[in-house]
Structure 1
């Protein structure tokens, strides 16, 4: 699986939401679909990015690292779009 911007947005949204229902609502997908997509993303990274349980999603140590990197990439792309590229 190749990682795409949508995957990065998903992990950031999940980290910001802190619970499954809110994350799914913000992404406008079902909770089941969110868990399936997150599972594929976690498989691509080779491990759990979030601890799952009874509706909550909490970043693991690896998840915090991936979320921080994803934020940096998304922020950089946003800045490039806002300022134009040379």
Structure 2
């Protein structure tokens, strides 16, 4: 099921009129299959790839990182935002 990250990736790829193969090539992937999985929410965007994906999709890397943390690891974002209770 698509999450907020995959929805953003899908929207940006569609808006920029990119193909999965093109995005995959630009990211150094062997095929567009991983891009397709990211778009469908079947794979998580690795945090170490956020900056290059943000550049390619013309989005703010900080905003994309925050969205990834909020979606995949909300507790990390809570800690970074100063919530020491962990709740």
TM-score (norm 2): 0.31
Higher strand share: 1
If asked which structure has higher relative contact order (CA below 8 Å, sep 6+), I would say 1
